[in-house]
Structure formats: C-alpha cells, structure tokens
Structure 1
Amino acid sequence: MRFSRSVLTAAAFAALAVGTTTALAVPASAAPNTTPQKVCGNAYKTVNSAVVGSLGTVYLTYNAANGQNCVATIRNNPGAAVDMSAYVYVPDTDESAGDSGQYTSYAGPAYVYGKGHCIDWGGNISNVYVQITGSNCAALKEQRATSTR
C-alpha cells in the first residue's frame, strides 16, 4: 500500500502540533490536586475561606442536611510533605476537631456539628498560620489573623 507524499506530510505536521501543544502545557503540579468537596464530601458547600499566604487556602464548608461543618487546608502546589493542619471549634458547645501532620497536598477533613453556632476555624501550611474566630455568625464580624512562626 502506497501513501502519497501529502498524506505523510499532513501526518507529520499533526504529530508536530500535538507535541508542541503538550510541551507548552502547564504542569499538573501547578494547581491543587483536590477540592474542599473531595476532602469533606460532595454535600459540603464552601461557605468561607482564608488564604494561607501564597501557599494555599483553608476552607470552611457546611452540609445543610446534617448541620456539620468541615474544614480542609489545601496547598496551591502539592509537593514534598510539609507541616499542615486544619481545625474547627464551636465555642458554644466546646466541640472541636482537627487534623495535623506532614502532608503533600491537604490537611483534613475536620468535622463538627455547627448548625446555628459561631465557628472558629483555621489551619497552617509550613510556618504560615491562619486563625478565624467568630465566623459565620450572621451580623457579628469575624476576626482574622495570619502569622508566621
């Protein structure tokens, strides 16, 4: 079976175009490899978030069906394991949950029942810590603090 020169040339250009597109693509590690819903569950909707410097974000999520809050800290660029944490606390009921350790992508999930209550929550990535108090309390103003240690 003989191929014409134009068919072979077209195939070569197509292969070159695919190779160029692949070479210019952004590496997969340039974006987080998870979402708050993948960490906490699909029924949990993001209701608040706080950036952790340039390293990532802490997410507060809520499941209206069961009244549970969930917190997850997610890195912008997964990589080598670093110190990370996610925590949530309900001052009215003194209920708390947290997760901390050396992680490559995210810390959490941490769940508490929070329906009708103010929530304190936060987390860290490496040496950058975020703490939010009095959150999601209707008219009350929450307090945010970011620190490095």
Structure 2
Amino acid sequence: MLVNRSVLVASALAALSLGTMTALAAPASAAPNTTPQRVCGSGYKTVNSAPVGSLGTTYLTYNSANGKNCVATIRNNPGTALDMSAWIYVPDTEQGDDDYGLYSSYAGPTYVYGKGYCVSWGGNIDNVYVQVNNSNCSALKEQRVTFTR
C-alpha cells in the first residue's frame, strides 16, 4: 500500500511539474495583450493614439468623471523586456507624469489633470519614439513626430 501511494504521489508531482513547465515555456507572443483601459483603469476612454513604428501604440485616454488624462504605451507582441516609456505633459499648468523602464508588455499608466487644456504626450518602444504636441484642443494644431535613435 505504501509503495502504491508513493508511485501515485510521484506520478502526480511529475504531471504537475510537466504542466507547469509547459505553461512557462509558452511563447511570449501567446501572452494576452492588454488594452489602454486595463492599464489606465475603468472610466478611461481612448481619445487619441499614435503608432510606435510597427512595435506597438501609445494611447491617450480621458476620464470625464475626474478630468484626468492617462497615457499608456502597449506593445503589439509582448516578450523580452525592452526600453519603454509613456509620458504626458500639460504646458499651461506645467504638470506632467512619466514612466520609463524595461517592460515586457506596456509602459504606464501616467496621469495628469487635463480638462480644458492642450496636452503633449508620447512614448517609446526600444529605439522608436513618438511625440504628440498640442493634442486634443481646438486652440492649436496637433503636431506628431516619430523618430528612431
């Protein structure tokens, strides 16, 4: 009886171990993609976006309940951690927020109170950068810049 239990326990542990190794060995591209709303929170709606080359997108979202904007940069194919960023700035109030680091899926969220103001925002993935100035206001024309370093 003791031998049978030992065999069953060993078999169960082997199966569990194999299942864990299989799950961990899944390719990074199989990881679930996220959304700007998952990064920024409920109540935030996408109001603008800019592609970061072919690597992903930087999103500008807005929450009308609290007057805040949020920016998130999201990769198309999560995987090995890369240099990424998300940032936002309100020139009229000189308020801003940024998030820079090595990330495997997204950078952000970054928040600023932006109700009634023009905002500048952007982000990067690896060596591709996007910057949007004078965004989401009627007073100035939006300017977009994408560049690599």
Name the aligned partner's letter for residue 62 of structure 2.
Answer: Y
Structure 2 distance, partners of 1:115, 1:67, is 5
Question: Cα gap change, 1:31/1:83 in structure 2, threshold over 3 Å: closer, same or farther?
Answer: same
**Alignment gaps of 5+ in structure 1:** 1-26
Structure 1 distance, partners of 2:64, 2:28, is 33
2:28/2:79 contact within 8 Å kept: no
Structure 2 distance, partners of 1:80, 1:105, is 9
Structure 1 segments of 4+ aligned residues over 6 angstroms from their partners: none
Name the aligned partner's letter for residue 99 of structure 1.
Answer: D
**Corresponding position of 2:66:** 66
Deviation readout 1:41-72 (Å, 9 max, x if unpaired) = 11000000000000000000000000000000
Give the share of equivalent positions with the same residue, in percent. Answer: 76
**Corresponding position of 1:22:** none
Question: Cα gap change, 1:32/1:76 in structure 2, threshold over 3 Å: closer, same or farther?
Answer: farther
Structure 1 distance, partners of 2:68, 2:130, is 21
2:28/2:78 contact within 8 Å kept: no
**Corresponding position of 1:102:** 102
Measure how far apart 1:114 and its partner are: 0.2
Between the two proteins, the alignment pairs up a number of residues equal to 123
Deviation readout 1:99-149 (Å, 9 max, x if unpaired) = 010000000000000000000000000000000000001253100000000
**Alignment gaps of 5+ in structure 2:** 1-26
**Corresponding position of 2:19:** none
Structure 1 distance, partners of 2:56, 2:77, is 8
Structure 1 distance, partners of 2:123, 2:99, is 9
- Partner-residue secondary structure (3-state), 1:97: strand
What is the TM-score of this pair, normalised by structure 1?
A: 0.79
**Corresponding position of 1:92:** 92
Name the aligned partner's letter for residue 126 of structure 1.
Answer: D
1:55/1:125 contact within 8 Å kept: yes
